[in-house]
A and B are shown apart, each in its own frame.
Chain A
Amino acid sequence: MKLLPTMGLIFVILLGGLFIYVAEDIPAFGDPYSPPNKYVNLSISIDAAELEDNLNQGVIPASLMDKIEERGLPLPSRIEKVEEGWDMIIEKGELHYHEEERYYFVTEEGDALWVYRYAPIVRYIEKGHEETEVPNMVTYILADYRGYDTLGETTVIFTAGVAVILLLRRREKRPE
């Protein structure tokens, strides 16, 4: 009977050490280059010929607007230069956003301008199946993209079990 409690204690101690190690590895919150937060390629491209100056001055080319409208996506209202590309921002009140939203990301690859899209949830929906080979969207978001979250949830349940054992455990084996 001494074996199982000892094993339980060893497991708990190892788990504590593991969590301390894990805390060092969590990516910074909101880091746009962490794997789940990359952009999604919208497959919209136009020729980049001499358009860079226009983009830098905040003028969105009409051909780009036409292509975005063809796809039924919300139209951007202005464009800003950021490093490695340009951000296109949609207006306040468009879709469900309460403020102006950084929505598209335009970058130059080869001699074409490619439009990407921010928002990690789009990546989960569009790319999740091919990236994880799991057909259930809830499962792959819960266990893969949001793995830290689920680990925390499991730890909460673990803590609840430990608390109940500490408070309610009765030492005597049988009432008789």
Chain B
Amino acid sequence: MNPENSEIGKGRAGGGDVIVETVSRLMVPFIQLFALYVIIHGAGGPGGGFQGGVIFAASFVLLVIAFGIVDAGDRFPEAANIAFISLGVYIFAGVGLLCIILSLGAAQYLNYGFIPLTTHFEENRALGIDLVEVGIGITVMAVITSIFFNLAWKRESEEGGREE
């Protein structure tokens, strides 16, 4: 934000401001809680995996803006990010595959009713939808975070090269 501050605070793209850091550190848990609420609430009202994942990613974007790419990047390593990207799709596809496995081949792929979570067929479908939404949320969160981090790293390294 302030170019003078960024020169003083070494390795911090924007930040070094106490108020910005404190307020964002205070805000991040609430944003993440709201994101989880949106994901879980997707079955009962407006919301869902896509929206909740984007809100969750917004909390990491806020962290990067407040603390700079280096400190925020340490909190969310890239390797874990890559694992999360495929983990979400894997949960979605795996829930679909569970339906086939647990019904011994009788059900169609993604026919959630055959996952024996409860005794009611319809309740199983509702819970299957929730599981799938969690998978979507994880993928969207990791992809948005990954895109933002990679773009920010690139800019950071280019600026660093210019100074040298």
Whether the Cβ atoms of B142 and A161 lie closer than 8 Å is yes
8 Å CB contact of B150 from A134, A151, A169: A169
- Residue in chain A with minimal CB distance to B132: A143
Number of A-B residue pairs, CB cutoff 8 Å, is: 154
- Minimum CB–CB distance from A164 to chain B (whole Å) comes to 5
CB interface residues, B 73-132, toward A, < 8 Å: 77-80, 82-83, 85-90, 92-94, 96-97, 100, 108-112, 120, 122-123, 125-126, 128-129, 132
Known: A22-B96, A150-B132, A175-B160. A165 touches B150 (CB 8 A): yes
Q: Which of B10, B86, B108, B123 has the most C-beta atoms of chain A within 10 angstroms of its own C-beta?
A: B86
The reply on A48 being an interface residue by CB < 8 A is no
The CA-CA distance from A7 to B111 in the complex, in Å, is 28
Q: Interface residues of A: mostly helix, strand, loop or mixed? A: helix
The reply on A8 being an interface residue by CB < 8 A is yes
On B, residues with C-beta under 8 Å from A are 10-11, 42-46, 48, 50, 70, 77-80, 82-83, 85-90, 92-94, 96-97, 100, 108-112, 120, 122-123, 125-126, 128-129, 132-133, 135-136, 139-140, 142-143, 146-147, 150-151, 153-154, 156-157, 160
